[in-house]
Chains A and B, each alone.
Chain A
Amino acid sequence: MLEFRKDIFADERDDDLNEIGKPTQRQDMLGHVTGRTRYFDDHAFEGLLHLKCLRSPHHHARIRSIDTSAAERAPGVRRILRASDVPVNLNTLLSLLQFGKDDEPSLAENEVRYVGEPVIAVIADSEREALAAVLQIRVDYEVLPHILDVEDAIKPGAMPVNPTYPENTFTYHETYNRQQLRYGDVEAGFREADHIHEERYQMSPIEHAPTETNGAIAAPETNDRIVCHTSTQGLFFSLDTSAKILNVPSNRLHFIGGTVGGGFGGKVDSLCEPLAILGAMLTGKPVRYAFDRTEEMQYGPPRGAERWFLKDGVMNDGRIVARQLTGYFDAGAYTRLSSYAVVKCTAHIPGPYTIPNISSDVYCVYTNRTPATAMRGFGVTGVDFALECQMDKLASLIGMDPVEFRILNAYRDGDMKAHRREAHNCALVECAQVAAEKASWPIREEFKRMNSYRRDSATTPATSTAPIPRMPDPTKPPAAATPQPRTPPVAPPPPRPSAPPSFQQPSAPTTSPQTIPPPEAPSQGRPAPGRTGVSRFAGRSSSISGTRRR
């Protein structure tokens, strides 16, 4: 059951959490248990037609010709939709936020760029007749070379996957081929480090596999409007996307949704709504376009795969002094939301740890794979897999407990992040302590006493008004440390240190000579935040609105 640890950050609380922690019945629960909840597909329409797509069997091919004559004569077929029937047959989802260039057709035109890309849509009286007619369409493909690996895609001279981005990388601010983050001097950090550790990490694409597949039913309504029942997770996002693709004012579309049979991020791409509505407009009949299970698993957008190269410099006392990251997000053939995932990822780097020297380059790369999309923390989950595996390896390398290693390096309030923002509302130290306690994982007393308010918990009074000490300059020896010999990266782990790391008592930054310039951060641009009331919970969130919970 839920347990509230109000002792943590007790001096910052003035809440009483009257509702939180008490069960409150969901407003939709009665509908769920009685079977009365209406999902998009649970609506009856007289004369409902069914839309099915012919999909590309090739990773990459040129369409020489399409012969639909047999399909048009097939039983039950009411209408065939071609690329030329789609009013605006090039779109990118985030164009609604003026982010990125239109790069994806609703129905493929001239070329197909991934297995499963829709080419032709057939609308028939029944699903079975639509599928039978799809099988009678003849497409003459000229199979072209394809790219399935992100590093192959960015090689000089690589074949363009997506003509909108001929270099196979998304273009940021109409200029940059990546999201770049620089803080401190990572090479100087590596020179100072006792150990260097490099790793390559690779994750697979992940399908959301909701029990309800993606789908939509569109039907003519009164006043020349079209009603659309949809499984979408972003109702107005899908409405505006459909209005753009169909080139109609959004007030001609009446979207009904929000009841989603499992989404997890896989129901924002608005793939079904525009074609269902177009079908309803062209036939004057209700049209249903829903993925079957195979389409959902094979062609529905997954969480995209990421490849990571991490290089860390770590001291024998446990401090990470430099972190270098190169990441490749596999967007698949079209952008969808991967460009945003890379921005979100870069905002998360280097993980919740204070590291004085950071260099990061993250690329949104196009390949001939299924286009990727949102999924539960996308942009952060993949890199966190790499970072936390790396943290365990670093702890093992220096012979330190992995929980203590994380507590030691965790952000503290007032630390300067690589993004030139002070860290606030930090809580990793406390989370790690409680997790260790719950798991009966032994950590040393001094690590149990640490907290997120300050680095030098043993010496600095909590009421200090002095600026929060920052992570010490990595080029300075720790104030009370015994100099450690440099050890090559392949050396066996040194013995576990018997004393808490000496940088718990840093000398004042201004009194020590500096051998290299400090990190290029606005050093004292903002006063230390107040420590009373609800400041920890005040609205300091800077997440991009609207998309953070997908």
Chain B
Amino acid sequence: MSRTPVQFRLNGSDKAVFVEGGQNLLDTLRRDVGDFAPKYGCGQGTCGVCTVLIDGEPHLSCLTLAEAAAGRSVDTTSGLADGPNLHPLQQAFMDHFAAQCGFCTPGMLMAAKALLDKNPSPTREEVVEAISGNICRCTGYEPIINAILDAAGGRR
């Protein structure tokens, strides 16, 4: 099978990998680069645990061809903290106990970051809309929504 070289920036660092035709960005990040923060949940774009940012926009990496990331900037939860200092969203998720099993958390954080980067003072409805593609099967939506609102307030 032919393999294609793909270069992109991941959390601010240059990456170069060879990908197979049809290979998705999620597998590329997890298996080829070793960034395990984005998760596999459904492979069908319905659960949101694979959410990453491409040039600041949230994307479902399980439905995104790796080649589509070529030359672009990809952000995952692995790069959210500034060294030892947590991002305000991470701190708010901790403060609000906004995780149980934690499996949806990296995707939730990326969806929330995409929202706050564009809309620093969202309403509750806008927060709900922003994470509507992210399933938390432990059903901890209330603390997650409160955490995102709190992080937004803290950045004001």
8 A-B pairs with the lowest CB-CB distances in the bound complex, closest first: A35-B37, A32-B102, A261-B103, A35-B77, A42-B36, A293-B42, A33-B90, A32-B99
Contacts from B to A (Cβ < 8 Å): 30-31, 34, 36-44, 47, 49, 76-78, 80-81, 86, 90, 93-94, 97, 99, 101-106, 109, 135-138
Known: A209-B137, A211-B39. A261 touches B109 (CB 8 A): no
Which residues of the partner chain A approach B37 to less than 8 Å between Cβ atoms?
Answer: 35-36
A260 with B101: in contact, given A292-B43, A293-B43 (CB under 8 Å)?
yes
Flag if A211 contacts B77 (CB, 8 Å): no
Confirm or deny: A9 has a beta carbon within 8 angstroms of a beta carbon on chain B. Answer: no
B106 touching A262, Cβ below 8 Å? no
A445 at the interface (CB under 8 A from B): no
Contact mask A201-212 → B, CB, 8 Å, 1/0? Answer: 000000011111
Q: Does A20 contact B (CB under 8 A)?
A: no
Could you say which residues of chain B place their CB within 8 Å of the CB of A210? Answer: 101, 103, 137
* Contact of A44 with B34 in the complex, beta carbons under 8 Å: yes
Cβ-defined partner of B39 (8 Å) among A29, A39, A292: A39
Tell me if A3 counts as interface (CB < 8 A to partner B).
no
Identify which of A28, A44, A213, A261 gathers the most chain B CB atoms within 10 Å of its CB.
Answer: A261
Chain A residues, Cβ within 8 Å of B109: 33, 35
Chain A residue contacts of B102, Cβ below 8 A? 28-29, 31-32, 37, 261
- Does B105 contact A32, Cβ atoms closer than 8 Å? yes
A208 neighbours in B (Cβ, 8 Å): 137
Q: Smallest distance from the beta carbon of A294 to chain B beta carbons, Å?
A: 9
Give CA–CA (A208, B43) in the complex, Å. Answer: 18
Residues of B close to A29: CB separation below 8 A: 93-94, 97, 99, 102
New contact pairs (12) apart from A29-B97, A210-B101, CB-CB < 8 Å: A25-B94, A26-B99, A30-B94, A32-B102, A34-B90, A35-B109, A37-B102, A41-B36, A42-B36, A210-B103, A211-B104, A211-B137
Contact of A34 among B31, B47, B78, B138 (CB under 8 A): B78
Q: What's the minimum C-beta distance from B105 to chain A, rounded to whole angstroms?
A: 5
- Does residue A525 face the partner (Cβ distance < 8 Å to B)? no
User: Is A38 among interface residues, defined by CB-CB distance under 8 A?
Assistant: yes
Nearest CB in chain B: distance from A102 CB, A: 32
Least CB distance from B111 to A in Å reads 14
User: Of B39, B77, B90, which one neighbours A212 at CB under 8 angstroms?
Assistant: B39
The reply on A23 being an interface residue by CB < 8 A is: yes
Q: How far is the CA of A540 from the CA of B111 in the complex (A)?
A: 47
Chain A minimum-CB-distance residue to B91: A33
Residue in chain B with minimal CB distance to A296? B42
In the bound complex, residues from chain B placing their C-beta under 8 Å from that of A261 are 39, 101-103
